[in-house]
Structure 1
């Protein structure tokens, strides 16, 4: 098999392949064997019909078409591998010539990862805001814990912000009832803004059993973007009474015996939370600095595919009604053009980031071990509220599901290695020790030694290419 690669653009190539028929003997044997089972010819047992008889009955052209179509995926993958083409997305394949008994030729146009010249990481500098855990932070956590263990008691006064109410809602548009904006017995914390816009202001001062009406713009359903009149009936009004902060509360709300121990635990958790937030901020800042420092052309087909997927997901949530989406956008003060523009910019940034991190991972020869892959799966499973084994089963149902997790883990590891080399400073210009957040290269090396002898979790080349989509 002979193949050549023509660069059509920085992100697209055309692969021209010529396959001699002598390499297709096994393919022809397989095709004739399958057809011999299907063709019924007097004088021949099923499966014993000669190839020349099959050609006469079925047609040589049909046999050629079957053989070539079945061999194309493998020949394409072989050409991609031999030419070291970093393909992403699906190829557009066209058979250009068939010389029966001699060879056939085809071309495949496919998007590829562009060449990226990486910057000197040590020349990059990012600045992030840092903050220490304060007493106010601890008190805020303690207040949230008190709310979880608070009790709701009825009151006979008018509604105030922070009260908990039960209520009935009935909306109409132009005098007609709106079923999906009608409900009864809803529980709501006044002031939280979690239900219909304008509701919290409308019910202030009302008592149990009283009613009112207000006008609002519906954000979903068949009448998204339209003004509706909402009638509200108050069922009950309750106030939350919080427990006293003492040792009894500490014992009830935690595994600690004293308030001092509880406060110390809340402080520790707040410090961990701030550390995690700082780590996320550093990651985002370093990615931004890298993207600003390099030129990464993005494959248009890949961008469009992601944009189409975003639109599909948005419309799918609205019963596949684009008119409803447009009305919803209008209610939010955004045009469809702005939505499409934002979607494209977001897709381009995601793809540029993936291409950048994949290049870094390849250049630095980043590998992911079995333990690291499992930790990533465990983390993702927690995000979705699933058990790891259940999450793995869901991954196996998706095309390239495991390869995508592997690719994400590899990109994350590559980014951490870059962060260790970038100058990260606080707002006062002081250096931030990123090893406190991301660990050190030595700790990674120790972990690698611990799992030495285990197979690295490298997916197949095709899976890696598909994960870059």
Structure 2
């Protein structure tokens, strides 16, 4: 076999491959064997039909076609390896010349990873928000804690904002009660916004035993996205009572004896939250600065496929789950379709660039991932997915996604190197020490480039 590589542009090549007919013999033998198992010829046992009989009955062309289909991927892979190409996605193959007994010639156009030169990134400087915990931050945290320990008492009065009501619901569309539109004994806090739009106005002012009807767009179920008439029956009204913010509450809600100790702990917790937010901000800004230093041509097809994947996920997964369509989604976002398309394209470009650059860093810095790092990453991913570690690990292995996770960890380590080399200052001009947050670096870059990871995984898989 002979092959040659022609560079069409920085991200696409054309392979020209010539295969002597003799090298097709293993595929021809496999083709005859496969056809033997699929057809029946009177007078011959299944699987024992001579090649000449197959040629006569089914045509030599059918055998050659089967052989070429078997051989092309192998010769394409050989040509890729011979050319030391880092290909992305599936090739566009064109058989340019082939006759029985003669040389097979074909071309294959395919996207490749662009050659990237990583510049000196030690001079990167970014500014992040200073860590400042205000009294308002602490008060809000303590108020949220009080909410968790709120109690309810049944009252014989009309429901008011902030009350907890127990209701029965019945949704109808065009006069027909929906099979999945009936619910009994639903507990709802008025004003929480965690149920149907319009229910707050409907139940406020009703006492136990009262009813009302309101119109609302259904967010899920068989009639998601449709306007429904919803009948609500209030069965119970409960007043919420928050505990007093005192030493007794501190003892109830924590391991502390006094409110002063609880408040001091809340200050420390808010500082830790803001430290993590600061580290995340630093990583994102350093990454943006790194990407600005590197010129990266993007494979057109890869970018197009990535954009289409994002739009498909919106239309077929996120929209149905939320009861949305493009009109309602864009209204919620406050954008036109053109503006949102531009936003998706920008996100896709950044995701692909991020992965290309960090993968190049992994290679040049010879970074590796050990079992402990992979396990820790898997545990975090499992927690964020709502699955147990065992379930998540099984899904990863069965889906062949282990290399994807290894890549995520490696890219996290690559970004950590850049962040460590960069100068990070807060808005007060103080140098920020991110050492305490370095174990979170991998998760930040994962969130930045997870879609690109999935897309490139498909491209890498096509090499095999």
Task: Tell me which interval the TM-score lies in, with the shorter structure as reference length.
Answer: 0.7 to 0.9
Matched, 1:314 2:309: no
Of 67-76 and 324-333, more deviation after overlay is shown by 324-333
**For residues 130 and 162 of structure 1, do their structure 2 counterparts lie closer, same or farther at Cα, with a shift above 3 Å needed?**
farther
Matched, 1:354 2:349: no
Tell me by how many angstroms 1:271 deviates: 3.8
- Superposed, 1:423-434 pairs within 5 Å as 423-434=423-434
- Corresponding residue of 2:446: none
Q: 2:462 and 2:425 mapped to 1: Cα distance?
A: 34
- Superposed, 1:7-406 pairs within 5 Å as 7-36=7-36, 47=47, 49-133=49-133, 137-169=137-169, 176=175, 179=178, 183-201=183-201, 203-212=203-212, 222=223, 224=225, 232-243=232-243, 253=253, 256=255, 258-259=257-258, 268-317=268-317, 325-329=325-329, 332=332, 334-398=335-399, 400-406=400-406
Q: 1:84-119: per-residue Cα shift (whole Å, max 9, x none)? A: 222122222222222433421222222222233433
Q: 1:156-214: per-residue Cα shift (whole Å, max 9, x none)? A: 344443222223455667x7467477655332222222223344355445444445565
Tell me by how many angstroms 1:276 deviates: 2.4
Tell me by how many angstroms 1:69 deviates: 0.8
Say whether the 8 Å CA contact 1:403–1:467 is kept in structure 2: no
Q: Report the secondary structure of 2:131's partner residue.
A: coil
Say whether the 8 Å CA contact 1:17–1:107 is kept in structure 2: yes
Q: 2:207 and 2:291 mapped to 1: Cα distance?
A: 57
Tell me by how many angstroms 1:217 deviates: 5.8
Specify every segment of 5 or more residues in structure 1 that has no aligned partner in the other structure, as ranges: 442-460
Of 68-77 and 146-155, more deviation after overlay is shown by 146-155
Q: 1:208-258: per-residue Cα shift (whole Å, max 9, x none)? A: 4445565666666757376x665554332222223456776566555x363
- Corresponding residue of 2:460: 465
Q: 1:47 and 1:172 mapped to 2: Cα distance?
A: 63
Q: Report the secondary structure of 2:15's partner residue.
A: strand
Q: 2:339 and 2:205 mapped to 1: Cα distance?
A: 40
Tell me by how many angstroms 1:278 deviates: 2.0
Tell me by how many angstroms 1:326 deviates: 3.5
**For residues 464 and 133 of structure 1, do their structure 2 counterparts lie closer, same or farther at Cα, with a shift above 3 Å needed?**
farther
Q: 2:92 and 2:271 mapped to 1: Cα distance?
A: 52
Q: 2:320 and 2:143 mapped to 1: Cα distance?
A: 43
**For residues 294 and 205 of structure 1, do their structure 2 counterparts lie closer, same or farther at Cα, with a shift above 3 Å needed?**
farther
Say whether the 8 Å CA contact 2:90–2:459 is kept in structure 1: no
Q: Report the secondary structure of 1:193's partner residue.
A: coil
Q: 1:425-446: per-residue Cα shift (whole Å, max 9, x none)? A: 11122221222321699xxxxx
Tell me by how many angstroms 1:419 deviates: 0.9
Q: 1:430 and 1:292 mapped to 2: Cα distance?
A: 24
Say whether the 8 Å CA contact 2:89–2:459 is kept in structure 1: no
- Corresponding residue of 1:413: 413
Say whether the 8 Å CA contact 1:318–1:325 is kept in structure 2: no
Tell me by how many angstroms 1:465 deviates: 1.6
**For residues 166 and 426 of structure 1, do their structure 2 counterparts lie closer, same or farther at Cα, with a shift above 3 Å needed?**
same
Q: 1:324 and 1:8 mapped to 2: Cα distance?
A: 42
Tell me by how many angstroms 1:83 deviates: 1.5
Q: 2:434 and 2:69 mapped to 1: Cα distance?
A: 53
Tell me by how many angstroms 1:409 deviates: 1.6
**For residues 49 and 437 of structure 1, do their structure 2 counterparts lie closer, same or farther at Cα, with a shift above 3 Å needed?**
same
Tell me by how many angstroms 1:407 deviates: 1.9
Q: Report the secondary structure of 1:84's partner residue.
A: coil
Q: Report the secondary structure of 2:18's partner residue.
A: strand
**For residues 39 and 211 of structure 1, do their structure 2 counterparts lie closer, same or farther at Cα, with a shift above 3 Å needed?**
closer
- Cα RMSD of the aligned pairs, angstroms, is 3.8
Q: What is the TM-score with the length of structure 2 in the denominator?
A: 0.80
Say whether the 8 Å CA contact 1:219–1:328 is kept in structure 2: no
Say whether the 8 Å CA contact 2:87–2:459 is kept in structure 1: no
Q: What is the TM-score with the length of structure 1 in the denominator?
A: 0.79
- Corresponding residue of 1:457: none
Q: Report the secondary structure of 1:301's partner residue.
A: helix
Say whether the 8 Å CA contact 1:225–1:328 is kept in structure 2: no
Tell me by how many angstroms 1:327 deviates: 4.4
